[in-house]
Amino acid sequence: MSDIARHIERIRQELPAGTRLVAVSKFHTAETIMEAYEAGQRIFGESRVQELVEKYEVLPKDIEWHFIGHLQTNKVKYIVPFVSLIHSVDSEKLLSVIESEAAKCDRVVDCLLEIHVAQEDSKYGFTPDSCRELLQGGSSEKYPHVRICGLMGMATQTDDEDCIEREFGALKKLFDEVKGSSAVDSSAFCELSMGMSHDYPLALRHGSTLVRIGTSIFGERVYSCF
Domains and CATH numbers, the chain: 3-218 (3.20.20.10)
* 8 A C-beta contact, residue 15 and residue 207: no
At residue 174, the pLDDT reads: 98
69 vs 216: CA distance, rounded Å = 18
At residue 1, the pLDDT reads: 82
186 vs 211: CA distance, rounded Å = 21
106 torsion bin: left (phi>0), alpha (psi -120 to 50), beta (else): left
- In sequence order, what are the residues at sequence separation of 6 or more whose Cβ sits closer than 8 angstroms to the Cβ of residue 112? 85, 86, 87, 88, 89, 148, 149, 150, 151, 152, 191, 193
Radius of gyration of the chain (CA): 17
Global pTM exceeds 0.85:
yes
DSSP state of 47: -
Give alpha helix (H) positions in the chain.
3-14, 30-38, 49-58, 76-79, 92-105, 128-136, 139-142, 161-179, 200-205, 215-218
215 vs 137: CA distance, rounded Å = 39
Average model confidence (pLDDT) across the chain? 94
Below-50 pLDDT ranges, the chain? 224-226
At residue 224, the pLDDT reads: 46
